Amino acid sequence: MRCQIILNAFKGDLEKQLEEVNCFISESREDIELNNVLIIGGDEMDGDDKEKLTEMVPTSSVIFVFMERYNSEILLKYLETIVEKEDICIFSSGYMGLEIAPRLSYRLKGSVLTDCERCYEKEGGLFGEKKFYSGHMMGEYKLLNTPVFLCLSKGQKRLPAESGIETKATEVYLKDDGDFFSNVKQVEAKQEEDFTKSSFVLVAGKGAKNQGTISQLREMGERIGASFGVSRPVAMNGWVPMERLVGASGAILAPKIAIVAGASGAPALYVGVEKSDFIIAINNDEKAPIIKKADIAVIGDVTEVLEAIVKEILGEEEANE
């Protein structure tokens, strides 16, 4: 079966997306015939980016698909014309794959699996795997119809993408004819640090009790070089942007060190930090689930314990400045 790889340049982090797809393919079917890499984005992709990506893709063909702004209807119409019956289409994780893969599967009468972890062939059929029950169980799904559309799960393992083959790049421009939307206003999103790449993360939970304490914890984390994330209750209270949410419905992290402060460690959160090399839990409840799952657990007030950690790392005088 041919394989079409579809990446989202509007989302950014293209190199990460490509590395995750590359690892997924390497751990899945050995007989996949890599065909195209499609990179969907706007005019912000400059020549240097395109040249670098062309050298990285594991296929002999890369297609840069440009749109004035992200428009799912226009993209769907284009993809319908290039996807063939026996294709496997692999979307990188994120909003585009979660929307486009199911809709395209419906239009072309294929099969779809979102949050896919692995794909393989056995007993003459094609199967995919995805986690459920907040990441505690793995389900196996038989993909009966072709074409097959897979949207990868967040936090996939990554494999450096170095093709070593000559790749031909082509460009396609999709015109927005205005039939689908009117009165469109483009708002520039506030760009925050991508904490998913950090090797040191502080994740705060509802045990912090209020927005003031959350801000205090974030400041202390920044002083020791830790990126900041939160549990769902903290994000839902509006104390920090939803982009900082860690867990099954947020970011999946894999840092060297994760400090989980004031979060119980419920399954939905733990799936976001379980890939950490080392977990430090701070909680005033010795029966919190995170206590047993952490490499080190400290029972006590989150602010007081974290202050002690800051002083230990920075030294007494610098910590008090």
141 shares a domain with 27 = yes
Could you report the per-residue pLDDT of 227-249, keeping only the tens digit for each?
999 999 999 888 988 889 999 88
d(CA 307, CA 261): 12
**Residue 178, C-beta contacts closer than 8 angstroms, at least 6 positions apart:** none
275 shares a domain with 143 = no
Q: Is there a contact between 312 and 223 (Cβ–Cβ < 8 Å)?
A: no
Helix (H, G, I), strand (E, B) or coil at 82: helix
Could you report the per-residue pLDDT of 158-188, keeping only the tens digit for each?
877 665 667 788 888 988 766 555 555 655 6
Q: List for the chain the helix, strand, coil content (%; round to 5).
A: 30, 30, 40
Q: Which residue has the tokens 């799960």?
A: 153
Mean pLDDT within 123-144: 86
Domain-terminating residue out of 174, 203, 229: 174
115 shares a domain with 12 = yes
Exposed, middle or buried: residue 186 (CB in 10 Å: 0-12, 13-18, 19+)?
Answer: exposed
Q: Which residue has the tokens 């041919």?
A: 2
169 shares a domain with 25 = yes
Mean pLDDT of the chain: 85
Helix (H, G, I), strand (E, B) or coil at 212: helix
Give the pLDDT band of residue 27 (cuts 50, 70, 90): confident
88 shares a domain with 45 = yes
Count of alpha carbons within 13 angstroms of residue 169, beta-carbon side: 14
33 shares a domain with 81 = yes
Rg (CA), the chain: 22
Position 306 scores a pLDDT of 93
**Residue 1, C-beta contacts closer than 8 angstroms, at least 6 positions apart:** 29, 31, 32, 33, 86, 87, 88, 126, 146, 148
159 shares a domain with 26 = yes
Q: How many domains does the chain have?
A: 2
Residue 163: inside a domain:
yes
Q: Containing domain of residue 15, as a range?
A: 2-174
Q: Look up the CATH number of the domain holding residue 305.
A: 3.40.50.1220
Position 46 scores a pLDDT of 58
Residue 132 has pLDDT above 90, yes or no: no
